[in-house]
Chain A
C-alpha cells in the first residue's frame, strides 16, 4: 500500500501515544535499583537493597499475602455467584433478566468513594469494619459486574439448542449445566475470575474506608507509603508487579503472533 501522509501521521502518532502509555510505567524499574535511600535514579551503582528490604519486611510480605488470598477467595466467590446468575438469566432471557443484569453492573457506574461511604455505614451496623470478611464481601460485590459481563459474553455464543437437547434426552437441569454449559463457557469464566482477582488485588478506596489496622493489603501499604515518605521500597514492589504484567502481556502477544503465523507444512 502506498505511504500516504494520512497513513504516516496515524502510524507515527500511534507509536508516540503507545510510548506515552508504556514508558512512564517502566520508570519504576531503574528507580527501584537505586543505591540511595530516596526516590531517584541510581547514583553510583545499581543496588538490590530495596528488594531486599521488601523481602525481609514482615509487614510488606504479610500485606502481599493478604492481598493474594483475599483476591483468590473473591475470584472464587464472584465467579461462582456470577456464573450461576448468568446461566439463569440466559435461560430466562426476558425483560426481568435484563433488568437483573443491569442491577449487577451498577458497581461499575457508582464512583468508588460514594460506594465506599455506603459500605462503611452499613458495615458498621453489621460489625464488619476492619475484618477480612468485610473486605472480601465488598470486593466480591465490586468484582461481580466484571464476572457477569465476561461470562454472559461467553453464553451468548452458545447455541441454545445444545443444552435443550441434553434436557430433552432426560438430563436434569443441574446435570445439563455441569456437563454441557459449564465446559463451553469455561473461557469466559476464567477471564471473569482473572478480572475479579485483579479488581480485588488492586482495590484501594474501599479498603481505606473499611479497614483500620488489623487488615493491611498491598495497595493500602503502597498508598500509605506514597502519602508518608515515598520510600524506594514502593518502587521495588511496583517493579515486581510491572515485570509480572510485562511477562504475561509478552506471552499473550507472542501467542497471538504464533496463532496468526501459517503452519509450516
Chain B
C-alpha cells in the first residue's frame, strides 16, 4: 500500500475530534478578541478603559496575589504529603493516596458549600466558638481573602501533590542511603541530595496550581461574597450587571495573554509536556 494513503487514513482518525475542537472551541475563544475590539464600538476603547481603570488593576493584583499565595501554600503542604507518601508510609500509602484523591472527586461546588457551612457568620466554626464562650461576636472568616484562600488551597492541593508524587516515585532511595552512609545527617541528605531531585515535580505542581488559580471562578465567587473579586468574577460581573461584553472580552483577552506568558516563561524551567500533555 502506498505510504501517503496510509498517512491519510491516520489523519482520518485524528480529524473528527480535531475539527470539532478547532471549530467549536479554539475559534470561539479566539473570537473573544474580535468582541473586545467591536463592542460597543470599533476600536481599542475597551483596552484604554481597562488600563485606566483602578478597579481592574486592583482585581488583577488581587488575582495574582491570591494565586501566588495559594501556590506557595499548596507546594509546602503538598511536598510534606508527597514526601511522606513516597518515603515513609509503606502500610498507610494506599489509604493516604485515597484520602488525597477523595476531595479531588468531590465537586468544587460541594467543597465550597462545605466551607460556607463551616466558615459562615453563623457557621459551625463560629457557633462552636460562641458556644464554648471563646468569642462573643462571630468572627468573619468568609467574604474576605482569608476565606477564599482557605478554600482555594483546599481545592488546589491535590493538583500540587500528584505531579510531585509522580516525580518522587522516580527517585531511587539509594542516593539518600549513599549520602547517609557517607556521613551526612538526615537533614543534610534531604536538603542536598533528595530535594534538588524533586524540583521538577515542585515546578510542575506549582505551575499547574498557579495557572488554574488565575482563572478560578466558583470558589472565590462563593467564598468572597462579592468582596474579593478575582478577575474571573470581575468579568462575569461586568457582563451580568452591566451587559458590558466589550470590557468583559478585553479582560478575558488580558487574562488569556497573562496565562500564555506565564506558560511561555515557565516552559524554560518546567517540562510542559510532562506537566500537561503526559500527566496521569
Contact = CB atoms under 8 A, between A and B. Distances in A.
A180 B21 CA distance: 28
B83 interface: yes
A39 B117 contact: yes
A249 B97 CA distance: 10
A121 B157 CA distance: 34
Chain A, interface SS category: helix
A265 to B, nearest CB: 22
Interface in B78-121: 80-81, 83-85, 87-89, 94-103, 105-118, 120
B16 interface: yes
B241 interface: no
Contacts of A87: 13
B87 to A, nearest CB: 8
Contacts of B12: 88
Interface in A227-247: 230, 234-235, 238, 241-242, 245-246
B68 interface: no
Contacts of B10: 88, 91-92
A106 B279 CA distance: 14
Contacts of A253: 94-95, 97-98
A81 B111 contact: no
B113 A238 contact: yes
B259 interface: yes
A21 interface: yes
A113 B252 contact: yes
B102 A245 contact: yes
Contact of B29 (A25, A115, A201, A252): A115
Interface stretch (B52-60, B196-204, B232-240): B232-240
A150 B277 CA distance: 10
B217 interface: yes
22 contacts: A14-B85, A18-B81, A25-B103, A28-B117, A40-B127, A81-B20, A88-B10, A88-B12, A91-B13, A97-B14, A101-B277, A110-B259, A115-B28, A115-B29, A141-B20, A144-B17, A144-B21, A149-B279, A202-B109, A204-B218, A222-B113, A257-B94
Closest 7 CB pairs of A and B: A111-B215, A88-B13, A88-B14, A118-B28, A85-B17, A122-B28, A202-B107
Interface of B: 7, 9-18, 20-22, 24-32, 35, 77, 80-81, 83-85, 87-89, 94-103, 105-118, 120, 122, 124, 127, 154, 157-158, 186-187, 190, 211, 214-218, 222, 232-233, 235-236, 239, 245, 248-249, 252, 255-256, 259, 263, 276-280
